[in-house]
Amino acid sequence: MKLVGKKWCMSSRDTQGLRMSDTRRRSWANAFYGGADYLVLPVGMLLTAPFLLRHLGTAQYGVWVLAGAAVSSGGIVSGSFGDAVIKYVGACRGRGDRPGIVRIVRNIISINLMLSGSLAIALWCLAPYATNHIVKVDRELQTICLHSLRIGSGLLLVRSIDGVFISTLRAFETYSLTAPISICSRVAILVFAVLLARYGRNVAWIMVATLLISTFGTLAQGLALRTKIGTFLPMPSWQRRTVSDIAAFGTFSWLQAISGVVFSHVDRFFVGVFMGAPAVAYYGLCIQAAQPIHGLISSGLHFLFPHLSARLPVAPLSEIRRKVTMAFIINAALVIALALPLIIFEGRILTDWIGSAFGQEALRIFPTIVCGFALLGMNITAHYALLAIGQIRTVTCLNLLAGIAMLLTMALLIPRYGLQGAALARLVYGPITWLTYLYLYRFIWRGESGGSLPQSSTYSVATTSANSPTKRHRLRIGKRAGVTRYISS
């Protein structure tokens, strides 16, 4: 602070310190909201499961889980262009390009509706066949299952629009706007499920309530987005160049989403084929208990992706290096903090949760599976940083390679070592994804000192500085490994 003409004025250093402090507070808040958004559904399902099982019965509860899994899997695939939204909206936000943001949002709505519409039609048409295989005798339950799956097809369309609004808000690093709406929607769905089950309604009624609550949640996300970009018409649009630019990034994100859905279920199929259904129960239970190591950290650090995307057009390399280094330190500390208690107290945790007999069977493989998710959790910083740089192809290829290697190792080890072989195979996945740090080093630590970080050529425009006595333009000077380099002149 300096005294100028009886008034206190802030120096540039003080202003920079306050800006950094504000950014740090916002990052911690985003991490908190991201983690809370991830936790509310699994914790809520765990708390409500005994009540719903008692009032709905095992069969109807299974139908509800199946319908939810179909909608979730379809939503992941149809909404997988969300990473492209965060990437390009973040870049436009960094340049102050509001028309570009609106253009991206409207085109992404078209892409998501096309994907979700195709999946919704497929689910609607395949629902009778799926119902006949799931429920073979009970006619009433067949009708409930059919209606639930077809209501889920409508839910897919709503979720696809919801995903666009959520991703755009995340690109603005405002998780405090989008996460509370998502949390309230999920809590409301669970509350209505409990109330409807309590008064004797079936799963189809719960799916209708889910559809209505999700629709209101989507409208709320749209209104929240208006506070960031102003009034806009959320109508689908199809501009060939914009869609082409988005697809260049989003196609790999889509492929990665599909591979994620496949790899998260195929390992259970391998265990079932080689060892039978009881082994799948033990293995699936350990996966469910250890998965939050990666899932919670991934949700908490997700803000790193939109934050770096927004800083790309303006930030010097030194700032990006500092942010990535700090994120990695936090990443490693969180992995250790979450994994160590599960490894040390695994016996008590599993025994208290599932019972002594079941816990003893799962105890042999649980520490190994925990280590597998801990190893995978170490790649989260590089994963989001490379997405922000635009290296989605690298991230996707390494994840595909890791998934295939895990499944091949599993096929070799399960016949010889049983469940322990399946657990050991999961140790392969994480270290392969660590190769992302080599690529991150190439693009950040080997860059020119004081220069600008490589920026995607999508939506590249000349920018000017109003505070400079002369105009400063960003000039494209060539490409390196698919990423355009810029200098200031």
Query: What are the domain boundaries of the chain?
Result: 26-238, 240-489
**pLDDT of 463 strictly over 50:** no
Residue 135 Ramachandran class (φ > 0 left, ψ -120 to 50 alpha, else beta)? beta
Higher pLDDT, 310 or 218: 218
Is 118 in contact with 200 (CB distance < 8 Å)?
A: no
Position 453 confidence tier, pLDDT thresholds 50, 70, 90: very low
The separation between the first and the last C-alpha atoms of the chain, rounded to the nearest angstrom, is: 33
Q: Count helices and strands (H / E) in the chain.
A: 20, 4
DSSP 472: -
User: Is residue 97's pLDDT more than 90?
Assistant: no
User: What is the average pLDDT score of the chain?
Assistant: 77
What is the token pair recorded at 246?
């988005």
Distance CA 164, CA 248 (A): 18
With bands split at pLDDT 50, 70 and 90, how would you rate the model's confidence at 353?
Answer: low
Question: 93: exposed, middle or buried (C-beta count within 10 Å: 0-12, 13-18, 19+)?
Answer: buried
Is residue 316 pLDDT above 50, yes or no? Answer: yes
pLDDT-derived band at 192, boundaries 50, 70, 90: very high
Predicted confidence (pLDDT) at residue 465 exceeds the cutoff of 70: no
Sign for the pseudo-dihedral over CA of 116, 76, 305, 187: positive
Q: Among the listed ranges 210-224, 298-312, 459-473, which one has the minimum average pLDDT value?
A: 459-473
pLDDT of 479 higher than 50: no
Please report which confidence band the pLDDT of residue 37 belongs to, taking 50, 70 and 90 as the band edges: confident
Residues 6+ apart with CB under 8 A from 1: 8, 9, 10, 11, 14
Q: Where are the beta strands (DSSP E) in 22-91?
A: none
Taking only the tens place, the pLDDT of each residue in 217-255 is 999 999 998 888 887 777 888 888 878 877 777 777 777
Q: Please report which confidence band the pLDDT of residue 131 belongs to, taking 50, 70 and 90 as the band edges.
A: confident
- pLDDT value of position 449: 37
Is 90 exceeded by the pLDDT of residue 188? yes
Structure tokens at 129: 């066949």
What is the secondary structure of 336-405 as a DSSP string?
HHHHHHHHHTHHHHHHHHH-HHHHHHHHTTHHHHHHHHHHHHTTHHHHHHHHHHT-HHHHHHHHHHHHHH
The residue among 176 and 462 whose pLDDT is bigger is 176
- Give residue 452's pLDDT band: very low, low, confident or very high (50, 70, 90): very low
Confidence label for 334 from pLDDT (cuts 50, 70 and 90): very high
pLDDT of residue 233: 77
CB distance 468 to 426 below 8 Å:
no
Q: How far apart are CA 453 and CA 27, in angstroms?
A: 21
pLDDT: which is higher, 268 or 421: 421
Q: Is the pLDDT of residue 280 over 80?
A: no
pLDDT at 488 over 50: no
Task: Give the pTM.
Answer: 0.66
d(CA 287, CA 264): 10
Name which residue leads in pLDDT, 433 or 242: 433
| pLDDT tens per residue, range 102-129 | 888 888 888 888 888 888 898 899 888 8
CA distance 222 to 479: 37
